[in-house]
Amino acid sequence: MKAKFIQKMMAGALAMALVVTPAMSVHATPAAGGAGSGGSSSASSEKKVVEIVNESLAESDGEGGGSSVSSVSSIPVSSSVAGIKTTVKGVYLATSVNGTAIRTGLSTIVANYGLGAGEVPSARIYNLDVKKSPLAAAALNQAAESVGAVVGPYVNVEIGKVKGGKFSLLPSDGAEISVSFGIPASFAQAGKTFAVACVRPGGAVYILQDIDNNPNTVTFNTTGGQGAYAIIKY
């Protein structure tokens, strides 16, 4: 019954949750020296990306927040958690957690997902806006409740590849990829067990256990593709 409920909610949830997906792909090919065609169109697209990024940062900062970027080139392209730097470049904007990092080696991802010449792993990780994505958040809450857990920060994760300047998602049924979220101080609590709830397009729901011993992070195995995630504790 619970699984069917979540699947019904998730039928269109991720389409809302990942509203910035089409525009964010522009970041993959920041212009170098103005080469290429469609200069005015590219400038317009880059401006839109910057607007979306700053809107996301403003929402995550809340009142009094001042984080912003001025250009596509200043958008974060790497991240780290507890001193571990991500292996995969991309757009890392998840300010709701204390850092994010993909820990599986780049060459391992390339080999496991059969990437060809010119294909490079890439990630896009950013806050899930609960107001714009209430169904995704509700599904994550429902998943947490099923194991008696409390829900913490929400995060959107897209693990894909870039080829010829275009971003596309890796398949969600591929090999495991390890990801770490830094647990924010506001959600940390001694004596609690931390894990991650995940909801995929189509309604598949997972509780992903923490596989490291660092009390400041939660590290879990997922796969390529997109999903809505939340740190949970119980």
- Determine the Cα–Cα distance for residues 187 and 195; give it in Å rounded to an integer: 12
Q: What is the structure's pLDDT at 108?
A: 98
- Determine the Cα–Cα distance for residues 119 and 70; give it in Å rounded to an integer: 28
φ, ψ at 226 (rounded to 5°): -115, 155
Positive or negative torsion for Cα 141, 146, 148, 149: negative
φ, ψ at 204 (rounded to 5°): -65, 130
Question: From first to last of its 234 residues, what are the pLDDT tens digits of the chain?
Answer: 444 434 433 433 443 344 334 333 333 333 333 344 455 666 676 676 677 667 656 654 443 344 566 776 666 666 899 999 999 999 898 989 999 999 999 999 999 999 999 999 999 999 998 888 888 899 999 999 999 999 999 999 999 999 988 899 999 999 999 999 999 999 999 999 999 999 998 888 999 999 999 999 999 999 999 999 999 999
- Determine the Cα–Cα distance for residues 13 and 128; give it in Å rounded to an integer: 11
Q: What is the structure's pLDDT at 72?
A: 64
Q: What is the structure's pLDDT at 175?
A: 98
- Helices 134-145 and 2-10 cross at an angle (nearest 10°) of 160
Q: Hey, which residues does 92 pair with through a beta bridge? A: 125
* Contact present, 154 and 203 (Cβ < 8 Å): no
Q: What is the structure's pLDDT at 129?
A: 86
Q: What is the structure's pLDDT at 56?
A: 58
Q: What is the structure's pLDDT at 51?
A: 74
Q: What is the structure's pLDDT at 47?
A: 74
